[in-house]
Structure 1
Amino acid sequence: MSTEHPSVLTGPALPPGYGSVNPFAAVRGPGGCAGFVRFVEEVFGGRETLAAHTVDADGLLIHAEVRVGDSTIMCADAKPQWAFTPALLQVYVADVAEVVDRAVAHGAEVVTPPTAFHGGQRLARLLDPWHGVWWLFEYGPGSTAPSEGPDELPRWRPDPDAPPSEVFRTVDEAMTHLGPPLP
């Protein structure tokens, strides 16, 4: 079964640096959107697309783009009247512990420490200073991702009588108590 739709651009039909779907984060907090861009540059080796840097009449950054690997994260300063909306972002990395250490050095908090995860991957989660939550997946030799498995629903289900796993408990706790960063 094909997952492509004729109205969605893919592969070479896309502009350089963009995927079919690109995340957009409306951030508020330390240094605003410009601070978020610097964090992504320092932690993930991102590079801002300067041609997209657009300041609104009120002085807030209404649009910026930062390239990470082969993806683009779009972002803006959240307007004061906008509801807090956390960015929920996932990144594949070569060494999850190294990225966690770098992120912590730039103000992130560990939500889930590097942990063995499905398919031989390792998972960690971070809360950035703008209260976005990052899922980091270490993928490499011997790992498999869901996209590499059979195209069918898994048969496995959690035991409803067992305590939640550390992987679930940590993200549930973070998401339950998540709110906007302090000014």
Structure 2
Amino acid sequence: MKIPSEYLPVMPYLILKDSKGFLKFAKEIFNATEQLIVPSEDGASIMHGEIKIFDAVIMFAHANENWHEKSAGMYLYLEDVNHVYSKAIGGGARSLMLPDKKEYGYTAGFEDPFGNQWWIVEGEKE
């Protein structure tokens, strides 16, 4: 089996009511980079989008009458939980769990303005 080099074997695919807003949020909060953005014919939304957070690819599209909204829960390792959590809450996210030390690491949770839940955990320093 050959998977294209820009993809992983499993990737979330979100269907969102505000695809452009999600792209902006992901770039501001997670420093996500655009891998592929296909605008709708009228340019008002994103027909198909792909972003990268570190090596992870998240695909997304704008909801319509054929493709109904589907959010997801995602688990993300990153370097600074407090910083990302604060940016997310300041960017309109709703807290699900305040930053706290757990047996599996320093972690927090929030729901973005698009209905996706993010569980963020600080990766161990190398």
**For the superposition of Structure 1 and Structure 2, which TM-score range results when normalised by the shorter chain?**
0.7 to 0.9
Q: Equivalent residue for 1:101?
A: 86
Q: CA separation in 2, counterparts of 1:101 and 1:127? A: 13
Q: Secondary structure at the match of 1:130?
A: coil
Q: Equivalent residue for 1:88?
A: 73
Q: CA separation in 1, counterparts of 2:43 and 2:65? A: 11
1:83 deviation in Å?
4.0
1:25 to 14, 20, 23: 14
1:59 deviation in Å?
5.1
For the pair 1:137 / 2:126, whether they are aligned, the reply is: no
Structure 1 unaligned residues grouped into runs of 5+: 1-6, 143-183
2:112 to 128, 136, 144: 128
Structure 2 unaligned residues grouped into runs of 5+: none
- Name whichever structure is richer in strand by fraction: 2
Q: Equivalent residue for 1:151?
A: none
1:27-72 CA-partner distances (Å, limit 9, x unpaired): 11xxx1011011000000011124x423157954220111111111
Q: Secondary structure at the match of 1:76?
A: strand
Identity over aligned pairs, percent: 26
1:108-142 CA-partner distances (Å, limit 9, x unpaired): 111111122233x1121111001111110112149
Instruction: Give the number of equivalent residue pairs.
Output: 126
- Name whichever structure is richer in helix by fraction: 1
The structure whose RCO (Cα within 8 Å, separation 6+) is larger is: 2
Identify if the C-alpha distance between structure 1 residues 99 and 58 changes in structure 2 by more than 3 Å, giving closer, same or farther: closer
For the pair 1:71 / 2:56, whether they are aligned, the reply is: yes
Q: Secondary structure at the match of 2:15?
A: strand
Q: Equivalent residue for 1:40?
A: 26
Q: TM-score, normalised by structure 2?
A: 0.86
Q: TM-score, normalised by structure 1?
A: 0.61
